[in-house]
Structure 1
Amino acid sequence: METKQLGNTGVSISTIGLGGMPLSLSSRPPESQGIEVIHRALELGVTLIDTADSYCRDESDKHHNERLIYKALQSYGGDISQVVVATKGGLMRPNGNWTRNGNPDRLRETIRVSFEALGGSKPIDVWQYHAPDPDYTIEEALKPAQEAVEEGLMRFVGVSNFSVEQIKRARDVVDVVSVQNQYNPWYRQPETDGVLEYCETEGLTFFPWSPLGGSRRVSSLGEISAIAQLAQEKGASVYQIVLAWLRSKSPCIVPIPGASKTSSIEDSVGAVEVKLSEAELKQIDQGA
């Protein structure tokens, strides 16, 4: 597995990560299968696992994914010293819905619970503010993260669903190493809103969430003729073509495709071997 640096930290991460969300939502697989998926990802050289306190069924199930990942890491027989777990906080799951909550007191609490859920023995590798809440300033919401870094509860801080201006404001409060925004063939705003260019210029890692379109659109990838044609020509899956396309967009991009089956993460990791020419990238750009 290829690696690249996380932001400007000097820490190496795999060039494709594992998105943990499908392992904890209402449609999640049995726990044993979830652990098997995480173990398979580790065997394949994946050293970045993306999670969040809100990857769960509802508020009564909060932090499920973090606890699952910790359990999988503890039961893995191989070396986990290089594994980076990136979690998030700032979303609530009332009745299974998604709502924003940037209340600093609540963020302080959820950071501590995330710290415990991930083992409580070492700092959270990366904690990301999941989405800005208009009821609180970015400065207010990120103060708990700054405090947590100083207290040794977390190493690095990232942001998610942020504009360039919001990222700049965040960096005035705390050192930001990563940005996680939506980016896939149907949603290409990072190419035009300046976020991708800013991350590349400033040395921040960009994690595209829903890189394959999410559960509602992933099955439609084969309907994009340019992608389907290239997949057939290269003997690759349509998912591998999309991940290779994303990786080619910028050296700062690290896709984090979700998986609920071992075959899914095996397929995603195979995207590292898929090479696309400039002409083929243009073909996807025009056809997506």
Structure 2
Amino acid sequence: METKQLGNTGIFVSAIGLGGMPMSIANRPAESQSIAVIHRALDLGITFIDTADSYCLDESDKHHNEKLIHKALTSYNGDISQVVVATKGGLMRPNGSWGRNGSPEHLRQTIRESYEALGSEKPIDVWQYHAPDPNYTIAQSLAPVKEAVDAGLIRFVGVSNFSVEQIKQARDVVDIVSVQNQYSPWERQPEIDGVLKYCQQEGLTFLPWSPFGGSRRHANLADIPAIAQLAKSKGVSVYNIVLAWLRSQSPAILPIPGASKISSIEDSARAADVTLSHEEVQQINRAT
């Protein structure tokens, strides 16, 4: 598996990551299946796993995905010394819905809980503020994060769903290595709002969430002629084409497609070997 540097950390991770969310939300697979998926990802050389405290069914199930990933890593027979787990905090799951909570008290508590869920044997590799809460300033919400870094609970910090100005505010409080915003052939905001350009200029890793456009787009990728034709001509899946398109947009991008089946993560890993020409990229741009 090709590798790339995580931000300016000097640490290299796989060029394709694994998103853990599908293993812990509604309609999630059996735990044994999820662990098998994570083990297969590790076999394929994937060393970057993205999770969150809110990848769960509801508040009573909080930290489910983090605990699952920790269980999978500790039961893996191979080398996990290079694996980086990036988690997030700041979203709530009351009755299965989603809501923001940037309260310093809450973030201080959930960081400690994430640290414990991930094994409490080493600092959290990457902790990301999941989404800014308008009830608190960026500085207020990130103050306990800086405290956790200083206390050895967190190694690196990232942000998610942030604008360029919000990223700059965050960097005034604590060093930032990554930004995770929505980005797909149908959600192009990072190109328009300057976040992708800023990440590339500043050496920050950009993690595109929902790379296949969400459940509605995911099911209809093959209906887009430009994507379907490129997939057929290259002998790969439509998902490979989308991941290759994302990687072509900027060297800062590290896709983190979710998976809950072994076949899915095997397919995503193959995308690391797919390249698109400038004209092929433009074909997708025009089609979407």
Q: In which range does the TM-score fall when normalised by the shorter chain?
A: over 0.9
Deviation for aligned residue 1:223: 1.5
Q: Match for 1:164: what amino acid?
A: V
Classify the secondary structure of the residue corresponding to 2:180. strand
Query: Could you tell me which residue of structure 2 aligns to residue 105 of structure 1?
Result: 105
Alignment of 1:243-282 (within 5 A): 243-282=243-282
Query: Could you tell me which residue of structure 2 aligns to residue 199 of structure 1?
Result: 199
In structure 1, runs of 5+ residues without a counterpart are: none
Identity %: 74
Measured in 2, the distance between the counterparts of 1:133 and 1:223 equals: 37
Q: Match for 1:77: what amino acid?
A: N
Query: Could you tell me which residue of structure 2 aligns to residue 179 of structure 1?
Result: 179
TM-score by length of 2: 0.99
Query: Could you tell me which residue of structure 2 aligns to residue 26 of structure 1?
Result: 26
Classify the secondary structure of the residue corresponding to 2:87. strand
Measured in 2, the distance between the counterparts of 1:22 and 1:232 equals: 27
1:228 aligns with 2:228: yes
Tell me how many residue pairs correspond in the alignment.
288
Classify the secondary structure of the residue corresponding to 1:113. helix
Classify the secondary structure of the residue corresponding to 1:9. coil
Deviation for aligned residue 1:6: 0.4
Measured in 2, the distance between the counterparts of 1:215 and 1:255 equals: 17
Query: Could you tell me which residue of structure 2 aligns to residue 166 of structure 1?
Result: 166
Q: Match for 1:258: what amino acid?
A: G
Classify the secondary structure of the residue corresponding to 1:159. strand
TM-score by length of 1: 0.99
Query: Could you tell me which residue of structure 1 aligns to residue 90 of structure 2?
Result: 90
Measured in 2, the distance between the counterparts of 1:271 and 1:219 equals: 18
Superposed CA deviations along residues 14-55 of structure 1, whole A, max 9, x for unmatched, are 000000000000110000000000000000000000000000
Query: Could you tell me which residue of structure 2 aligns to residue 52 of structure 1?
Result: 52
Deviation for aligned residue 1:164: 0.2
Measured in 2, the distance between the counterparts of 1:160 and 1:216 equals: 22
Superposed CA deviations along residues 141-176 of structure 1, whole A, max 9, x for unmatched, are 001110000000010000000000000000000000
Task: Indicate the RMSD between aligned Cα atoms, in angstroms.
Answer: 0.5
- Greater CA drift, 228-237 or 122-131: 228-237
Measured in 2, the distance between the counterparts of 1:135 and 1:280 equals: 44
Measured in 2, the distance between the counterparts of 1:191 and 1:210 equals: 16
Measured in 2, the distance between the counterparts of 1:21 and 1:93 equals: 13
Superposed CA deviations along residues 199-240 of structure 1, whole A, max 9, x for unmatched, are 000000000000111223211111211111101111110000
Q: Give every structure 1 segment of 4 or more consecutive aligned residues whose post-TM-superposition deviation is greater than 3 Å.
A: none
Measured in 1, the distance between the counterparts of 2:230 and 2:173 equals: 44
Measured in 2, the distance between the counterparts of 1:46 and 1:241 equals: 19
Deviation for aligned residue 1:87: 0.1
Q: Match for 2:122: what amino acid?
A: K
In structure 2, runs of 5+ residues without a counterpart are: none
Superposed CA deviations along residues 244-283 of structure 1, whole A, max 9, x for unmatched, are 0000100010000000000000000000111111111111
Deviation for aligned residue 1:192: 1.0
